[in-house]
């Protein structure tokens, strides 16, 4: 059997490699490549996506390999809108701004509606029925291999246009949605989290990563922190207008507070707790780069993201016996069901939970063989 190399042609950070199970020599050679990682559930290897690494793989496999295109689907080309269609987009943007929607949601909805308007450019949008819209969603998903979450964004954008802009009845956009997946968030061990957040030598970078993990913050929440949000006397951190425009308080680690004081003395930020070069908010892309570098230096699972620190924060609190309601409040979840997903991640402790078969066997006498 041949080795399969994929993801080299696209912009993925890592090349994926599948080899036969009995290829012990190939396995040992891949292990020698820096930052190689075996994904046990996908049963494949991955290595950093560089031309040098591709050359190494070709040398390892000689002629026994195949390179495939692993892109999820075709890329939608750019389209030109008419003046009428541009006006429709402007209406959508105005309604969303007045409704207090975030800039990222506005951008996502407008991006989907561009294609919706273009697809039906020769039809009166008010005459479309549920079947027309579901056919559109089906064609987009089939052609471009959209994920379930992307499909939901598409439907939500169409829903917004008909409900808020055209003021249609709710039944008009009761479109069939994909079944919600039951996937579990990835988490790291405490030691892995410590390795990552303690990796940066730069004081600001270390403070950012340690604060993200120790307080369970989203990456966008870190960039919006003001100096006044650090409530050092109460050992609390104030998160203003986070997801859903909700304020909340979360825990502030005593060790991180000491680090923040050291950072403040060295950097003297004026308003935002973490500032960019010109005194503006520190960017999410900069934090992502800091995180990726820390992950690379510590050889932790390369597929983790900054949000994994938040998932790990919640799971580790649950492991230490913190009440689920407290964790829900610290994370800012509107529903306890969102927080309950972390209960499924915890490993079963056999000292606490015993199989009913073992309990039964303890109470009976087995016949001698």
Known catalytic residues are 218, 243, 307, 310, 333, 342
Instruction: Find out whether 235 and 288 touch, Cβ atoms under 8 Å.
Output: no
Could you give the 3-state DSSP secondary structure of residue 38? strand
CA nearest 12: which of 40, 47, 43, 45? Answer: 47
Measured distance CA(94)–CA(18) in Å, rounded: 49
Residue 97, both tokens = 């701004």
Q: How far apart are the first and last CA of the chain?
A: 48
Burial 237-274 (b: 16+ CB within 10 A, else e): bbbeebeeeeebebbbbeebbebbeebeeeeebeebbb
Could you give the 3-state DSSP secondary structure of residue 68? strand
Residue 188, both tokens = 């790291």
Instruction: Find out whether 52 and 37 touch, Cβ atoms under 8 Å.
Output: no
Residue 367, both tokens = 């016949």
Question: In what helix (H) or strand (E) does residue 5 lie, and over which residues does it extend?
Answer: strand 3-6
Give Cα separations from 243 to 58, 95, 102, 104, 364 (angstroms).
Answer: 46, 19, 9, 12, 56
Instruction: Find out whether 214 and 198 touch, Cβ atoms under 8 Å.
Output: no
Could you give the 3-state DSSP secondary structure of residue 17? strand
Beta bridge partners of 68: 6
Could you give the 3-state DSSP secondary structure of residue 97? helix
CA nearest 271: which of 204, 224, 231? Answer: 224
Instruction: Find out whether 215 and 313 touch, Cβ atoms under 8 Å.
Output: yes
Instruction: Find out whether 178 and 151 touch, Cβ atoms under 8 Å.
Output: yes
């Amino acid at each position: 059997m041949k080795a399969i190399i994929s993801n080299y042609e696209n912009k993925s950070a890592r090349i994926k490699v599948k080899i036969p199970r009995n290829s012990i020599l190939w396995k040992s050679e891949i292990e020698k490549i820096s930052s190689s990682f075996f994904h046990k559930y996908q049963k494949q290897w991955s290595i950093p996506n560089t031309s040098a690494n591709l050359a190494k793989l070709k040398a390892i496999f000689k002629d026994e390999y195949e390179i495939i295109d692993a892109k999820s689907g075709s890329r939608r080309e750019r389209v030109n809108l008419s003046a009428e269609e541009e006006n429709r987009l402007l209406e959508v943007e105005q309604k969303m701004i007045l409704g207090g929607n975030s800039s990222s949601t506005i951008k996502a909805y407008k991006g989907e509606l561009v294609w919706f308007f273009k697809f039906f450019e020769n039809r009166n949008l008010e005459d479309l029925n549920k079947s027309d819209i579901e056919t559109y969603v089906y064609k987009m998903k089939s052609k471009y291999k959209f994920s379930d979450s992307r499909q939901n964004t598409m439907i939500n954008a169409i829903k917004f246009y008909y409900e808020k802009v055209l003021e249609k009845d709710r039944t008009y956009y009761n479109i069939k949605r994909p079944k919600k997946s039951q996937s579990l968030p990835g988490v790291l061990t405490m030691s892995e989290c410590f390795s990552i957040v303690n990796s940066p030598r730069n004081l600001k970078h270390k403070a950012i990563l340690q604060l993200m993990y120790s307080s369970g913050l989203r990456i966008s929440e870190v960039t919006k922190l003001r100096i006044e949000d650090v409530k050092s006397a109460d050992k609390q951190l104030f998160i203003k207008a986070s997801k859903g425009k909700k304020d909340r308080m979360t825990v502030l680690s005593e060790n991180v507070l000491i680090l923040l004081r050291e950072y403040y003395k060295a950097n003297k930020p004026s308003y935002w707790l973490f500032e960019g070069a010109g005194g503006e908010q520190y960017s999410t892309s900069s934090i992502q780069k800091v995180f990726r570098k820390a992950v690379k230096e510590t050889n932790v699972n390369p597929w983790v993201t900054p949000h994994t620190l938040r998932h790990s924060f919640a799971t580790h609190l649950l492991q230490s016996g913190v009440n689920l309601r407290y964790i829900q409040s610290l994370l800012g979840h509107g529903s306890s069901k969102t927080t309950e997903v972390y209960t499924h991640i915890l490993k079963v402790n056999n000292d606490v939970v015993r199989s009913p078969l073992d309990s039964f066997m303890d109470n009976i006498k087995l016949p001698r063989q």
